[in-house]
């Protein structure tokens, strides 16, 4: 019996076979990342993969049977994957896993387009918590949808193919930045300065001298997508960092990518529901709007998840309240991994570490645990047993040192439904930066954790 607790490094513990599995798993993850830059992208990728895995569309008015596999895409931005097990759902509840698939980015304003000094721009409004200076002077891609008059929907994705152009937000040259450099970091780049350059070729012979570049860009957009300027008012378009997920390090032990938060948890939970052979009924959710408070029809504060649970319960004549109270949930979200370069932001005995496995957070929140789910000891005990019984290497920690800041996840919204919930995720470095860093060992361990939870 070990009297002392020591954190384990997954790479040190792994034998040759497991190391191979870790690297293999990460190839699928990188592909998923590259097709899932927005919540719409992630939901569509998951829907396609669900179809390939034998899942069929779900309806609130259907009666589910044991063995059914269903998917419900909520407004294109939030997907529910359901696998009905043979256990009595009233007594056994549902094994629920929730990750979010929205990530910090730059949304377009409703009237985004203007021209100044020979360049055409789109104005943005940032979405989620970002350090604004990180989003300048780098290649950006444009993703989203535009509704045309009459209901036709145009999908736009420009900047991801290597032959595509990209978009660009300028920063001030250091030679002239004495004033800017004296400002605090949060003020150095103003929110209203996050304007992306989208064109510079004037329309020759345009009467409107002041807006001849804008006219030319609008012509291009109209030719390609049939849109006019007013259509931006009925669109959801955003700029995200252009480019693909990449291995990091000579050994390729890590992955840098846009949107690890929280696709690094969404992918393992999705793979787990596909791969598990479980007697339990399992529900995997890709949530939207987590980065802005989980509100709205596609966020986890919406009633939709209760409706899905109720539909499952009603299918078997089970009491939906009993089903909820007997359900268990993993809120699969990232946490801040210990970063030795910024050690003062962390308490090293209670931090999670890169490559040390799935990160379990009993609570999140800020200051005196404000706004936290705080999983009960009994549920922590349950989670420990299933992870330890199934060879899951896991660790636990807080999101940074006390009073340094804080954060939350969707855990509290699931907890509020009377469902035991705990945060289990992956430690991330440079969270919310355009390019975030994770370990291949940790995303694989989260997959094993999700599989153990479904089992």
Q: What is the binding site for Mn ion (CB under 5 A)?
A: 261-262, 333
Q: How far is the CB of 361 from Mn ion (least distance, A)?
A: 11
How far apart are alpha carbons 333 and 431 in whole angstroms? 12
Closest-CB residue for Mn ion?
Answer: 262
Of 84 and 426, nearer to Mn ion (C-beta) is 426
Q: How far is the CB of 414 from Mn ion (least distance, A)?
A: 14
Of 229, 204, 189, 243, give the one whose Cα is nearest residue 435. 243
Taking the least distance from each CB to Mn ion, the nearer of 85 and 408 is: 408
Strands 281-287, 94-100: parallel, antiparallel or unpaired by DSSP? parallel
Q: How far is the CB of 128 from Mn ion (least distance, A)?
A: 6
- Report residue 168 as tokens: 């660009």
Q: Which is nearer to Mn ion, 39 or 262 (CB)?
A: 262
In the complex with Mn ion, the residue whose CB is nearer, 132 or 324, is 132
Distance of CA 187 to the CA centre of its chain: 27
Nearest distance, CB of residue 235 and Mn ion, angstroms: 24
Shortest Å, Cβ 364 to Mn ion: 10
Cβ-based nearer residue to Mn ion, 333 or 420:
333
Q: How far is the CB of 126 from Mn ion (least distance, A)?
A: 13
Considering the complex, state which of residue 44 and residue 261 has its C-beta at the smaller distance from Mn ion.
Answer: 261
Burial class of residue 257, CB neighbours in 10 A (0-12, 13-18, 19+): buried
Q: Dihedral sign, CA of 172, 175, 179, 181? A: positive
Q: What residues contact residue 136 under an 8 Å CB cut-off, 6+ apart?
A: 169, 170, 171, 189, 194
d(CA 276, CA 260): 23
How far is the C-alpha of 247 from the C-alpha of 123, rounded, in Å? 32
CA distance linking residue 366 with residue 346, whole number of Å: 14
Cβ distance to Mn ion smaller for residue 115 or 261: 261
We find the least distance from the C-beta atom of residue 428 to Mn ion, in angstroms, to be: 9
Q: Please, which residue, 265 or 451, has the CB nearer to Mn ion?
A: 265
430-435, long-range: CB within 8 Å, 24+ apart, which pairs?
A: 430/339, 431/260, 431/261, 431/334, 431/336, 432/104, 432/128, 432/129, 432/130, 432/131, 432/261, 433/131, 433/134, 434/134, 434/135, 434/138, 434/241, 434/258, 435/241, 435/256, 435/257, 435/258
Least distance between Mn ion and beta carbon 335 (Å): 9
């Amino acid at each position: 019996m070990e009297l002392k607790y020591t954190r384990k490094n997954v790479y040190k513990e792994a034998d040759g076979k497991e190391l191979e599995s870790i690297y293999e798993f990460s190839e699928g993850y990188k592909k998923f990342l590259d097709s899932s830059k927005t919540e719409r992208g992630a939901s569509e990728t998951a829907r396609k993969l669900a179809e390939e895995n034998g899942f069929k569309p779900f309806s609130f008015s259907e009666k589910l049977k044991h063995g059914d596999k269903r998917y419900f895409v909520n407004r294109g931005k939030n997907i529910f994957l359901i696998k009905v097990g043979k256990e009595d759902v009233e007594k056994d509840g549902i094994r629920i896993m929730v990750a979010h698939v929205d990530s910090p980015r730059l949304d377009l304003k409703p009237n985004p387009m203007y021209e100044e000094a020979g360049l055409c721009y789109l104005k943005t409004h940032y979405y989620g918590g970002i350090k604004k200076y990180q989003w300048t002077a780098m290649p950006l891609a444009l993703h989203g949808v535009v509704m045309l008059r009459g209901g036709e929907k145009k999908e736009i994705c420009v900047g991801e193919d290597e032959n595509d152009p990209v978009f660009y937000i300028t920063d001030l040259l250091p030679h002239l930045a004495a004033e800017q450099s004296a400002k605090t970091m949060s003020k150095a780049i103003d929110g209203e300065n996050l304007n992306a350059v989208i064109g510079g070729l004037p329309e020759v012979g345009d009467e409107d001298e002041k807006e001849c570049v804008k006219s030319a860009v609008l012509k291009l957009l109209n030719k390609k997508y049939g849109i006019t300027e007013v259509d931006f008012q009925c669109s959801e378009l955003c700029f995200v960092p252009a480019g693909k997920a990449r291995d990091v390090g000579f050994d390729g032990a890590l992955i840098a990518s846009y949107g690890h938060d929280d696709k690094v948890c969404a992918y393992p939970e999705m793979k787990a529901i596909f791969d598990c052979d479980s007697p339990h009924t399992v529900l995997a959710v890709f949530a939207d709007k987590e980065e802005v408070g989980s509100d709205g029809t596609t966020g986890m504060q919406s009633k939709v998840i209760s409706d899905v649970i109720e539909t499952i319960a009603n299918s078997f004549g089970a009491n939906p309240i009993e089903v909820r109270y007997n359900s268990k949930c993993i809120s699969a979200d990232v946490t801040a991994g210990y970063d030795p370069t910024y050690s003062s932001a962390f308490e090293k005995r209670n931090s999670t570490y890169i490559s040390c496995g799935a990160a379990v957070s009993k609570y999140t929140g800020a200051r005196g645990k404000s706004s936290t789910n705080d999983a009960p000891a009994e549920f922590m005990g349950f989670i420990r047993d299933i992870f330890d019984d199934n060879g899951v290497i896991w660790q636990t920690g807080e999101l940074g040192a006390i009073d340094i800041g804080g954060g939350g996840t969707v855990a509290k919204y699931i907890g509020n439904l009377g469902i035991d919930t705990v945060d289990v995720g992956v430690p991330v470095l440079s969270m919310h930066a355009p390019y975030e860093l994770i370990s291949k060992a940790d995303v694989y361990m989260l997959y094993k954790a999700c599989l153990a939870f479904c089992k």
